[in-house]
Amino acid sequence: MQKNYDLIIVGARVAGSSLAYECAKAGLEVLLLEKGRLPSDILSTHNFFNNALSLLRDMGVLEKLLQTGTPTYKRVFIQFEDAVMDGDFPESKGETECLCIRRTHLDRILFEHAAAHQGVTAIQQFRVTDVILDRDTVTGVCGVHKDGRTEHFAGRLVVGADGRHSTVRSLVKSERKICVPTDFASYVAYAADYRQEGDRCVEFYKFGEYIAIIFPTSDGLYVIGLMVPLGRDDWMERFKRDPETAFRDLADAGFADTVSSFPQRLRESRFVLPVRGVLGYDNDWFQGMGKGWALVGDAHSFKDPAIGQGLHDAIWGSMALTKILAGNGSWESSWDTMAEAYEGALQSKMISRFGLACQLTKNRPFTEEQKAVNRLIAGDKETFDTYLGMFNYASEPADFEQAVFRLLQGNAQN
Residues 16 and 152 in one domain: yes
Residue (of 215, 186, 184) closest to 358 by Cα position = 184
Of 26-40, 151-165, 252-266, 312-326, the one with minimum mean pLDDT is: 252-266
Query: How far apart, in whole angstroms, are the C-alpha atoms of residue 151 and residue 91?
Result: 48
Helix (H, G, I), strand (E, B) or coil at 296: coil
pLDDT 10s digits, 37-88: 999 999 888 999 999 999 999 999 999 999 999 999 999 999 999 999 999 9
What lies within 8 Å, CB to CB, of 173 at 6+ separation is none
Of the chain, the percentage scoring pLDDT greater than 90 comes to 92
**Contact criterion met (CB below 8 Å) for 178 and 285:** yes
Model confidence at 257, in pLDDT bands (50, 70, 90)? confident
As a whole number of angstroms, the distance between CA 121 and CA 295 comes to 20
Cβ–Cβ under 8 Å, residues 289 and 278? no
Average pLDDT over residues 190-199: 97
Question: Do 288 and 149 sit in the same domain of this protein?
Answer: yes
Q: Is residue 302 part of a domain?
A: yes
Percent of the chain scored above 70 by pLDDT? Answer: 99
Q: Most confidently modeled of 3-7, 215-219, 325-329?
A: 215-219
Q: Which residue type sits at 133?
A: L
Q: Is 356's pLDDT higher than 80?
A: yes
Query: In the predicted model, is pLDDT for residue 239 greater than 80?
Result: yes
Query: How many Cβ atoms from other residues are within 10 Å of residue 166's Cβ?
Result: 23
The pLDDT score that the predictor gives to residue 399 is 96
| Domain of residue 303, CATH code | 3.50.50.60
For residues 263 and 244, give the distance between their C-alpha atoms in angstroms, rounded to a whole number.
Answer: 14
Burial of 293 (0-12, 13-18, 19+ CB in 10 A): buried
CA distances for 309 relative to 10, 47, 51, 153, 315, angstroms: 21, 8, 11, 33, 10
Amino acid occupying residue 233:
D
Asked whether residue 334 falls in the same domain as residue 378, the answer is no
**Same domain as 109, residue 29:** yes
Q: What is the pLDDT, as a whole number, of residue 412?
A: 77
**Helical segments of 255-309, H only:** 262-268
What is the bridge-based pairing of β-strands 282-286 and 301-302?
antiparallel
The CA-atom distances, in angstroms, between 208 and each of 33, 205, 256 are 44, 10, 12
DSSP state, residue 174: P
Looking at 278, 310, 326, the residue that finishes a domain is 278
Average pLDDT estimate for 335-358: 97
Q: What is the pLDDT of residue 374?
A: 96
Instruction: Write down which residue in 278, 313, 331 finishes a domain.
Output: 278
Whether residue 124 contacts residue 17, with contact meaning beta carbons closer than 8 Å, is answered with no
- Inside any domain, residue 308: yes
In this structure, the answer to whether residues 130 and 114 fall within a common structural domain is yes
200 and 155 in one domain? no
**DSSP 8-state code for residue 71:** P
What is the 3-class SS of 213-264, one letter each residue?
EEEECCCCCEEEEEEEECCCHHHHHHHHHCHHHHHHHHHHHHCCCCCCCHHH
For the stretch 388-408, pLDDT in tens is 999 999 999 999 999 999 999
pLDDT for 45 equals 85
Q: Are residues 126 and 236 in the same domain?
A: no
The pLDDT assigned to 166 comes to 98
Is residue 51 assigned to a domain?
A: no
- Same-domain status, 115 and 37: yes
Mark whether 31 and 128 lie in a shared domain: yes
Element (H, E) at 100: strand 98-100
Classify residue 80: in a domain, yes or no.
Answer: no
Backbone angles phi and psi of 313, in degrees to 5: -65, -35
The HSE-up count of residue 38 (CA atoms within 13 Å, CB side) is 28
pLDDT digits (tens, 9 = 90+) for 260-273: 899 999 999 999 99
| DSSP for residue 135 | T
Which of 341, 360, 379 is at the close of a domain? 360
Same-domain status, 156 and 139: yes
Q: What is the pLDDT of residues 142-184, one digit of tens each?
A: 999 999 999 999 999 999 999 999 999 999 999 999 999 999 9
Q: Tell me the per-residue pLDDT of 197-221, one tens digit each, with 9 for 90 and over.
A: 999 999 999 999 999 999 999 999 9
Mean pLDDT confidence for 215-235: 96
What average pLDDT does this structure show over 330-338?
96
What local confidence, expressed as pLDDT, does residue 414 receive? Answer: 66
User: Residue 107 domain-assigned?
Assistant: yes
Sorting pLDDT into bands at 50, 70 and 90, what band is 2? low
Q: Are residues 32 and 117 in the same domain?
A: yes
Q: How far is CA 413 from the centre of its chain?
A: 41
Number of structural domains, the chain? 3
Same domain flag for 145 and 42: yes
CA distance 78 to 47: 17
pLDDT of residue 1: 36
Flag whether 81 is in a domain.
no
Q: What is the residue range of 386's domain?
A: 368-413
The average confidence (pLDDT) of the chain is 95
Residue 70 domain flag = no
Domain contains 387 = yes
